[in-house]
Structure 1
Amino acid sequence: MAHVFLPRRKGRAAVLHYAAVLDGHTMNLHAVLPDSAPLGESAEIELRNGRSRVYAPAHLYEDREDRLLMDAAVLLGTGPGGLALPSGRWKTTLLIQDGRKTRKLPLLLVEPPVPYAGPTKPMGASPVDGVRHRLGRTVTGSLRVVTSNPKPSAEVVRIDLSHSALVVDFRLLGTRIQDPWAEFVASRRRIERPVEALPGGIWRVVVPLEEMPPERRATEHWDISVASESTRALRIGRRLHDVRNPMRVFAINKAVVAPAGRPPMIVHPRYTAAGNLRVTCSRMPEAGRRA
């Protein structure tokens, strides 16, 4: 949404001319305050849900036309310095400290944010914890932050391809899995591999490449999931980003490997359009002609 500057107006509310969550967890606000609003000594944004209240600093200043403006960048989520909002609907209010008095101004959202075109898109969830933050309006037009718990997912942290094995580090969001394992599935083939717990909530799976060469076809596509006895399988991928084409932007180099006792093959880890991790294994053309 573009900045739209209007003259200050009479009333008891601050009018938001920009409101968006740009990176999945930073709420950016810009508002024009009414003529009656004081500059005050300090200001903050209050987010309220029932009896729960959290606060974030706001900046008040005057422009060249003597309009009183407000800017705020509110970090949401469990990251350092963030506001960890439980799931629910949070109404926002601007609080201005003016001497011993505290002025309360609703933050009116005249136009809700709209999606934009281009190579990137608004992030639907925080890349830190997977929590989703969406901006909306109350029945009176005030800004409301709708927070939702993260969807169960397995997010890639690191991929290491060597001449003998494929190593995938990933983290789990929105779910807890006890005694998990990883599954590599291609057409009618399935490989189960144990996973190792690493510090920081990271899991690691290692699969020897000698188990993945194509058998019935010249090319096989392996999808990777994490599963357990008590939970459904989760595809491992990379989805907490703002790009529209993960296949192109997060491209991974392919490699020619020669597994022990097997002909050389091309191994290419990549992401699908949906962000799922897929490993394509292809026979070398020379090996196919000799066969």
Structure 2
Amino acid sequence: MKRRRPLRALRRRTGRQITRVRSVLLRRVFLPRREGRAAVLRYAAVLDGQTVNLHARLPRRVRPDEGARIELRRRGRRFTTDARVYTDHDGGVAMDAAVLLGQDVHGLPLTPGRWKIRLRLSQGLRRTLPLLLVDLPVPYGGPTRPMEASAATGARYRLGRSVTGNARVTFSPSQPSAEVVRVQVSHSHVEVAFRVVGGEPEAPWAEFVASGRRLEADVERTAEGLWQVTAPLHLMAPRRDRAEQWDLVLCSDNLRDMRLGRRLHDVRNPGRVFAYRQTAVTPAGRPPMLVLPRYTPAGNFRIQCSPMTEAA
């Protein structure tokens, strides 16, 4: 592990240096040469994890009444969607577009890999303009962050650029994950409803895992198409005078074991935003205890079971 850390730090420094060099080349060499022959993106971002939002300044020779479409191309395959060309507030010609991606959400059905993004103009002689991405999207601060994946499908769409600055989007299919949807705490049990993204489990079951302990529980389908499991609190009482942390793992015959969590969101601190109240319960045949469902900083779901003292 100690040997890997210097290598990772070296890769990060090398990556930052390469990014700076490419940015300098783009601004000083490629951009001046392509000025007037390409559309320059002033804004480009994937805001909701599956919609690419674009705003570009177009060459002066482009008319504001031209028909326009955004084109995504990869290895002979091509998809297009509408774009709007208009006169900007300062008299220049600009373009706006919102490109929904993903067949499951009725967007463009991309396949995994890098897709070139271009602008097709249809007034008079048909022509295509490259979209230059001068500045890569910069993460913003605050309690929320850009969506890293689609909340609906778990697919990942990342904006980037070629060496010469041409914009492109990279599509990575979703990896199977178990996402918590609802948690209900009563005075005797905890019910957890969740969905599985990126796969369909066969013959699933759940395991509650704590330090040196592992409990199995049945998983059932709900009427709304979710999966549901009930925590066996009568078996989860702490054996010592301190709290025990229980992770919830989904197992099946066809998918890898997956820890339940909440990861497809734009919240920086899921433990604070998706907080639950601590509840006093009395499992059958067990002394009273305190139960607190919560999320770790990584978004993993846990159930904390603590002995109930007089102070509590």
Q: Residue 57 of structure 1 aligns to which amino acid in structure 2? A: D
Q: Deviations over 1:73-108 (max 9, x none)?
A: 112224544223221111011112214x32311111
> 1 CA distance for matches of 2:231 and 2:115?
45
CA 80–177 in structure 1, closer or farther in 2 if over 3 Å, else same = closer
1:163 aligned counterpart, secondary structure = coil
Listed as ranges, the matches of 1:107-186 within 5 Å are 107-186=131-210
> 2 CA distance for matches of 1:162 and 1:273?
25
Question: Is 1:209 aligned with 2:256?
Answer: no
**1:230 Cα deviation (Å)?**
4.3
2:275 aligned counterpart, secondary structure = coil
1:247 aligned counterpart, secondary structure = helix
Aligned 8 A contact 2:102 2:110 in 1: yes
Question: Is 1:62 aligned with 2:87?
Answer: yes
Q: TM-score with structure 2 length normalisation?
A: 0.84
Q: Residue 293 of structure 2 aligns to which amino acid in structure 1? A: P
Q: Residue 129 of structure 2 aligns to which amino acid in structure 1? A: L
> 2 CA distance for matches of 1:134 and 1:120?
18
Bigger proportion of residues as strand: 1
Question: Is 1:71 aligned with 2:105?
Answer: no
> 1 CA distance for matches of 2:241 and 2:126?
72
**1:200 Cα deviation (Å)?**
5.9
Q: 1:26 aligns with which of 51, 55, 59?
A: 51
Q: 2:108 aligns with which of 66, 78, 83?
A: 83
Q: Which residue of 2 aligns with 1:252?
A: 276
**1:249 Cα deviation (Å)?**
1.1
Moved more, 9-18 or 29-38: 9-18
> 1 CA distance for matches of 2:127 and 2:225?
44
1:141 aligned counterpart, secondary structure = coil
Root-mean-square deviation over aligned CA pairs: 1.9
Question: Is 1:274 aligned with 2:302?
Answer: no
Aligned 8 A contact 1:159 1:169 in 2: yes
Q: Residue 97 of structure 1 aligns to which amino acid in structure 2? A: S
**1:66 Cα deviation (Å)?**
1.8
2:70 aligned counterpart, secondary structure = strand
Q: Residue 94 of structure 1 aligns to which amino acid in structure 2? A: L
Aligned residues: 279
> 1 CA distance for matches of 2:263 and 2:89?
43
> 1 CA distance for matches of 2:191 and 2:140?
36
Moved more, 247-256 or 75-84: 75-84
Question: Is 1:15 aligned with 2:40?
Answer: yes
Aligned 8 A contact 2:40 2:133 in 1: yes
**1:65 Cα deviation (Å)?**
2.6
**1:240 Cα deviation (Å)?**
0.8
Q: TM-score with structure 1 length normalisation?
A: 0.89
Aligned 8 A contact 2:246 2:302 in 1: yes
> 1 CA distance for matches of 2:267 and 2:39?
33
Moved more, 167-176 or 87-96: 167-176
Q: Deviations over 1:111-167 (max 9, x none)?
A: 111222222222211111000000011232110000001122111111111122211
